[in-house]
Chain A
Amino acid sequence: MPNRLEIQNLRKNYGSFTALDSVSVILEQGVTGLLGANGAGKSTLMKLMTDHMKRTEGHILYNGTEVLEMGAKWRSLIGYTPQLQGLYEDSSARQFLYYMASLKGLRRRQAKEQTARLLQLVNLEAAAHRKIGTFSGGMRQRVLLAAALLGDPQVLILDEPTAGLDPEERIRLRNHIADIARERIVLLATHVVSDIECVANSVMLLKAGKLLAHESPQKLIASAQGKIGMFYGGYEEIRVLQNQYPKGEVKQNQQGFALRIAADPLPEGCVPAQDVGLEDVYRLYLEGDHA
């Protein structure tokens, strides 16, 4: 039976502040990208999914069963990488993975085998004996990913897993996520669009706790056609325009300067862009004037 995770009217309030506002979505096998600016509610959604936080309202159903009722069984099915790298700095990478394996209920032999395999997968075999406190940010992220993959989880909840990784490592990680996502539900939260545009089957757009859209990348890009435009001109001209469109991106080419903006409708003098991408979708829905 294919995995299916259904989120129904999920809400989280902190006093009078609504961090997540009635989010409903169905996640199936494959990678679902979760795009949103800082403070949009991505981490809150993930913490609710891992039951680290008490929800105000709503349901999360895994294959039809409420995850709160599943309890430890649900937690044995998930792998989670938090945004803040919560690692024991006094532990070595190997010791930390052994510890995580014991928490996931793996037997000793399984733990050893999977730890060895995952350390190789994330390219940390040589540094496995070193204390995590001596690791760079990227290395810590790889430890977290290895920890999430222990126990062969069915649902992967990855909160900015590529933060701190260099481009080569990012590509490696993306490819690996794409591989493992074939038989799993993977929810990948990020505000780096390139992380998901190649691997995501669908993308959720989250803004101020509200779910704006949940579509395939192609549909989202199609919806942005005609709403992304370019202003061409000299440097001073562009600088003046930038005051009106502060979130626009200034680019330089052989002809001069161009200001790329996302707006609906596009202002006069603006030429619609032909090469619309997911980055533009992000700017349009999550940063621009379009709501």
Chain B
Amino acid sequence: MRELQRIWTAPKTLLVLLLLAVLNLAVFAGFCRTESGHYAEEAQQRSEQTETYLTSGYQQYLSYITAQSQAQSILGALGKQSSFITRNREQTIADFKALGELTLQSGEENGIRTLLRFTLTDYLMLLAPLLLVMELITAQRSACGAMLRCTKKGRCQLMLWRMLALFSVSAVSVLLLWGGNLMYSSVFFGDPVLDRPLQSIMEFQQCRFALTVGEWFAAMGICKLFAVFCIALIFWLVLSVCQPILSVLVLLLTVGGQWLCYMLIVPAVSFNYPKFCNLFALLDADLFFTDYCNLNWFSYPFGMFESCVIACAILLILISVSCIVCIAMLHPFVVGGRVQYYGEKLRAWCSVRFGCHSLFWNEGKKLLIAQRGLLILVITAALGYSLWQDLMFYTATDYQMLIIYEQYEGEVTDEKLTKIADRIERLENNVQQYKISVQHAIDIGLSDFAVAEAQSKLAQAENELHRYQDVQAALLDVRHYTEDTGYDAWWIRQNAYIHLFSESAGVRRCGMLLLLCLVFLFSGIGAYENQYGANPLLRSTKRGRWGRNRSKLLWIVGLSSIAALALYGIHALRIADSVGFAFMEAPMHSITILRDLPFSISLRSFILLFMAARMLAAVLFALAVAWIGSRCRNTQNALLICLMIFLLPAALCETGIGILRPADWICWLGLYQ
């Protein structure tokens, strides 16, 4: 019990859970905002589809299943096909027969759709339990661990309490993160109506379980909890009994292999067992409720959910027992000596051949290798790539408008003003003519069709006229602005520039990623020496003060600039790809949101200046992080404190707490304040 108390009263545990919950909520909130934009665009279509589905679509689907007697049967490798197909057919009918009595209900479903699409939470849930596992392993290996093992309750009993602590941390992690998403989506999108059947939402059409929406939430949470706990136990076992190099290989093979199988194997292949009998399938759990699939177990159909649960339950029991036996009962042992031996031989050869570097490269090695900076950069790059995939920008410009832009976009010349005035005059005349035609058609008693046709032409002409009048007004507005202020301005499409310079969900995601990258990369740069008490020794050398600090400074400036350029560059490039930057040689005052600035350069130059300013902001931010971190006793404390100071306000702002805006570091990094 005291072990449970010790773990739960450690400030680090609570802090990590809090930070993860806030970070998850912040990212989810941003995702909700992005998705709500997409939902708004398809709202009409979706509404019609949903209505059809609720009234008759689902019943038709059930009838189809029964009539065709075919579900998504998968031909397995472990049994005769013909007997499996027959049994699967019967199983399918039986599974869906019970669902015919369901009374579907309409309700808010965008929240649930968003929950289905947002997968980052599943991975964030793993962090807190894995951090606890690292702490437990450190405790096991310390002198204190040896002391505990030689007490009466210091083996199996202690192990059981620790496993319970790990389970409880996993449970709280799932509750905070998954539950947090659920609550936020309910607030943001509206009440999902928890007591209606799950099949009321189109995405769950193929679900064979007669669950309500609320029960589905609970079932997902339970699945995720057991997956998280099992993965954490695997890490604990492997890291406890394997040498470092071997443990990396084993984890890559087991956990990494499962992840790859889950991501890459298509359900329709014959040997699809690794996809479903998989911890990541249990962690994700969506597939069990959005798809219908029976696996072929020796010619007998068995649901994918049941297969997964049984496989994972067996794995959980095996891993738990292995943990108790190997970590608690047996004498401490480590396998993988031979792998470690060869690894060390390789390291020795490398350090003799390549190990001796200048102070700058030594500091770089410390940052990138010892402090895992390279791993952080790789993860940032991977997340940046995923951001690249997700960022979409739209511009609703129709064909007619494109013609107008082609003719009038650019510098506002007298010639253009004259041209558009002439055009408007002609259009006004056309409108007048059409009005006369319509009236004439009515007067002479032409058919309704003829009258309607005339009215349609009139409407088109009027639309065109209004369009040109709007453009003329815009051109005149630009001309007057130039005359009043003396700053040159052109009339150009502004969408791309507004996307680039304004705050939006997309650029905030870039900023959040940059913030996380800089905090994880630089919070420990000074604390690393404090952790090992190396400062007195290092400072007693010739270059151990200014020389060392200068090297660190160069790395901070270099890496933070590159990170800022890359992440904000992704945003800019996506805009360029989707929308395009028109007339970059135009004066910057052509963009309405830049008109308050007291200087005038081209848009191209302004963009360069803007990006340079963002890079500078990133460098200053990184220096602040490094400075705060260097005041801490060790790298863990430095990371936690920097996350509290820099991430928490930004993340809370992301969830809508506007009062923290002045401390929203994402805004400072993106220069929106």
* Option from A50, A94, A105, A112 in Cβ contact (under 8 Å) with B539: A50
Chain A neighbourhood of B366, CB < 8 A: 88, 99
Shortest CB-to-CB span from A185 to chain B, Å, is 15
A-B contact pairs, 18 of them (CB 8 A): A47-B536, A50-B536, A72-B545, A81-B537, A82-B536, A84-B536, A86-B537, A88-B534, A102-B357, A102-B362, A103-B541, A103-B542, A103-B544, A104-B542, A108-B358, A129-B345, A129-B348, A151-B542
In the bound assembly, the distance between CA atoms of A124 and B455 in angstroms comes to 97
| Cβ-defined contact, B537 with A104, below 8 A | no
Chain B residues near A (Cβ < 8 Å)? 344-345, 347-348, 351-352, 355-359, 362, 366, 370, 528-529, 532-548
Shortest CB-to-CB span from A291 to chain B, Å, is 31
In the bound assembly, the distance between CA atoms of A50 and B535 in angstroms comes to 12
* Option from A91, A94, A102 in Cβ contact (under 8 Å) with B543: A102
Annotate A186-200 by CB proximity to B: 1 below 8 A, 0 otherwise. Answer: 000000000000000
| Cβ-defined contact, A98 with B536, below 8 A | no
Given A94-B355, A98-B356, A98-B362, do A84 and B533 touch, yes or no (CB 8 Å)?
yes
| Cβ-defined contact, A76 with B536, below 8 A | no
| Cβ-defined contact, B347 with A129, below 8 A | yes
Chain A residues near B (Cβ < 8 Å)? 47, 50-52, 72-73, 75-76, 78, 80-82, 84-92, 94-95, 98-105, 108, 111-112, 115, 128-130, 144, 147, 151, 157
* Option from A52, A87, A103, A115 in Cβ contact (under 8 Å) with B547: A103
| Of listed A91, A99, A100, residue having the most chain B CB within 10 A | A99
The 6 residue pairs across chains A and B that have the minimum distance between CB atoms: A129-B348, A86-B534, A86-B533, A76-B542, A50-B540, A103-B541
- Chain B residue nearest to A43 (CB atoms) is B536
How many A-B residue contacts, CB cutoff 8 Å? 105
In the bound assembly, the distance between CA atoms of A150 and B130 in angstroms comes to 41
In the bound assembly, the distance between CA atoms of A128 and B347 in angstroms comes to 10
In the bound assembly, the distance between CA atoms of A125 and B540 in angstroms comes to 25
A contacts with B: majority SS = mixed
* Option from A75, A85, A90, A111 in Cβ contact (under 8 Å) with B544: A75
Given contacts A50-B539, A92-B347, 20 further A-B contacts (CB under 8 A): A47-B536, A78-B540, A80-B536, A80-B540, A82-B537, A84-B533, A84-B536, A88-B534, A91-B370, A92-B348, A92-B351, A94-B352, A99-B362, A102-B358, A102-B362, A103-B538, A103-B541, A129-B344, A129-B347, A157-B540
| Cβ-defined contact, A128 with B356, below 8 A | no
| Cβ-defined contact, A104 with B543, below 8 A | yes
In the bound assembly, the distance between CA atoms of A75 and B529 in angstroms comes to 19
In the bound assembly, the distance between CA atoms of A72 and B539 in angstroms comes to 10
Given A47-B536, A50-B536, A129-B348, do A103 and B356 touch, yes or no (CB 8 Å)?
no
Shortest CB-to-CB span from B8 to chain A, Å, is 29
In the bound assembly, the distance between CA atoms of A100 and B541 in angstroms comes to 8
* Option from B355, B370, B543 in Cβ contact (under 8 Å) with A72: B543
Chain A neighbourhood of B359, CB < 8 A: 102-103
Chain A neighbourhood of B528, CB < 8 A: 88
| Cβ-defined contact, B362 with A75, below 8 A | no
In the bound assembly, the distance between CA atoms of A144 and B541 in angstroms comes to 13
In the bound assembly, the distance between CA atoms of A94 and B357 in angstroms comes to 12
In the bound assembly, the distance between CA atoms of A89 and B528 in angstroms comes to 11
In the bound assembly, the distance between CA atoms of A90 and B347 in angstroms comes to 12
Chain A neighbourhood of B532, CB < 8 A: 86-89
- Chain B residue nearest to A79 (CB atoms) is B540
Shortest CB-to-CB span from B212 to chain A, Å, is 52
In the bound assembly, the distance between CA atoms of A3 and B659 in angstroms comes to 65
Given A76-B542, A100-B541, A102-B357, do A86 and B536 touch, yes or no (CB 8 Å)?
yes
